[in-house]
Amino acid sequence: MGILSVLAFPVLGPVKGLAWLAEKIAEEADREMFDETRVRSALLELQTRYDLGETTEDAYAEQEAALLRRLNAIREANRE
């Protein structure tokens, strides 16, 4: 390890650590965003809330459409 590495560590160490953390967060966000199981679970939860009268028909239709669009996008992305 050269003297420059030792002198640069106090600056570059935290920067590299922050970059690593940002990469891990992005990976987890992608994993959540493209997880079919989560979307199907959200659809089931939405259906249950509607059946129990906790949401209106209009709200149900709007949320269901958004979830189905997301599910179709995930399936399309997985095919590519």
The DSSP annotation for 9-68 comes to HHHHHHHHHHHHHHHHHHHHHHHHHT-HHHHHHHHHHHHHHHHTTSS-HHHHHHHHHHHH
Residues 2 and 28 in one domain: yes
Residues 41 and 70 in one domain: yes
Residues 47 and 11 in one domain: no
Residues 39 and 18 in one domain: no
Report if pTM > 0.75: no
Residues 13 and 29 in one domain: yes
Residues 58 and 21 in one domain: no
Spell out the residues 6+ positions from residue 57 whose beta carbon is closer than 8 angstroms to its own: 50
pLDDT in tens, 46-59: 999 999 999 999 99
**Structural domain harbouring 28:** 1-33
pLDDT in tens, 16-29: 777 777 888 888 88
